[in-house]
Amino acid sequence: MAAWPLRSRRTARAVLYLTILAAPFACLVAFDEVRAIRARKPLLDLRASIAAARNRDEASDLLPRSVSEGLRARIVRPDQWVVETPTQIGARNWVLWIELDGERVRALRVRTEDSINQKPTDAPDDLVLVR
């Protein structure tokens, strides 16, 4: 049996090293995508619950539940709250923007972390509750 030519062995070795280096990254990306998709359901459930809330206090009471489901909630301004899914590679995670008008929830918008203006392609339409 003839030995591989030197060039073929170098190529095979380079392919092997690249595969060894790329495999963990590919696993990380796949895990990240699965985690992000799973986190969207609690975010959308929270969105529906807040839409049904009668006032600011009822909506505020729902936020601690979202944290226990792996979401992060924070107050940006007194009239604007944010609930985020876990961070995703490429800032593609979903963010629920909750806009308040006095004591009532005014609007619910799902956006990406990149921009309040960038709506994910498969996100639900905005809910504007108070005009």
- pLDDT of 117 reads 86
Surface-to-core class of residue 51, CB atoms within 10 Å of its CB (0-12 exposed, 13-18 middle, 19+ buried)? middle
Q: Is the pTM of this model over 0.85?
A: no
pLDDT tens by residue, 73-107: 988 999 999 999 887 777 778 999 999 998 999 99
User: Between 117 and 88, where is the model more confident?
Assistant: 117
Cα first-last separation, the chain: 81
Helix 6-52 crosses helix 56-68 at what angle (to 10 degrees)?
150
- pLDDT of 2 reads 55
Could you tell me if 94 and 116 are in contact, meaning their C-beta atoms sit under 8 angstroms apart? no
Nearest one of 99, 100, 110, 105 to 52, comparing CA atoms: 105
Could you tell me if 106 and 98 are in contact, meaning their C-beta atoms sit under 8 angstroms apart? no
pLDDT tens by residue, 18-73: 888 888 888 877 777 777 788 889 999 999 999 998 889 999 898 887 777 788 89
